[in-house]
Structure 1
């Protein structure tokens, strides 16, 4: 493994498919690389992009995000997915991805960066606080199916 990690979007189907093993660590309900690719295709139509940290041509950390406008936040970056491959944790990939998303958001005149995490995910919450994110509310949801 090299010491040089490259930040680049997963733009092609091949890039997205290469990201499957890392994303499945966060989203175990994804059944196959094809399922993942199909879901990303639908989300791309909604502005979803997948930013990755690449080492030796392989994605080792991912941030799925989109730029959204709403009445609560104005224009903002919403982070759908943030995951570092288990073997690469502790190497600051998550911080690097969040910093780059902040840069991208500022370039698009976004007011803030927003993400959700489980109330039970104390390790992620500590990480987000360390990165300067603040807890500003609770996320509520209801199963419809």
Structure 2
């Protein structure tokens, strides 16, 4: 049984989960330090969803950014990662469903996400859940 909840307080358990799971998302990712974890969970613009196993161990994470712009209230799903040892059990889908429910409660008109081109299983999940590929160019500038 997996429980999905919103992390609202920094904790060693959450910091450990970031350290263990984010490199599974991308080997270039480094875990936020304890101070950054505190900022992340305190931010009014983002929500951190957690998937926990029965023993309390965090096996999945998802971040949702909520924002208002002239074209409407929107949400952006980021950093979706499920522990490799527990993939294929519906945990990613449960996290995304909870993120969509949160977005609806917040009055969001559009939810967006990006996914690395190599993550075919993630693409199938998102498409199965109703996300459609949007023809756009995404630009990035590392500062």
TM bin, normalised by shorter chain, reads 0.7 to 0.9
1:13-52 map, 5 Å:
13-14=10-11, 15-20=13-18, 21-32=20-31, 34=33, 38=36, 41=39, 44-45=42-43, 47-52=45-50
Residue number in structure 2 paired with 1:68:
67
Retained in 2: the 8 A contact 1:40–1:48?
no
Per-residue deviation, 1:13: 2.0
Does the CA contact (< 8 Å) of 1:25 and 1:85 recur in 2? Answer: yes
Aligned length: 140
- 8 Å contact from structure 2 (residues 21, 60) kept in 1: yes
Question: Gaps spanning 5+ residues in structure 1: where?
Answer: none
Partner of 1:94: 92
Structure 2 unaligned spans of 5+:
none
Q: Please name the residue that 2:9 is paired with.
A: 12
Deviates most, 9-18 or 80-89: 9-18
Q: 1:23 to 1:11 in 2, by over 3 A?
A: farther
Cα RMSD over matched residues? 2.4
Taking the aligned partners of 2:26 and 2:118, their CA distance within structure 1 comes to: 16
Q: TM-score, normalised by structure 2?
A: 0.82
| C-alpha spacing 1:40/1:24, structure 2 compared with 1 (3 Å) | farther
Would you say the 8 A contact 1:22–1:59 is kept in 2? Answer: no
Classify 1:10/1:19 alpha carbon distance in 2 versus 1 (closer, same or farther; 3 Å): farther
Q: 2:139 matched to which residue of 1?
A: 141
Consecutive aligned runs of 4 or more in structure 1 exceeding 4 Å deviation: none
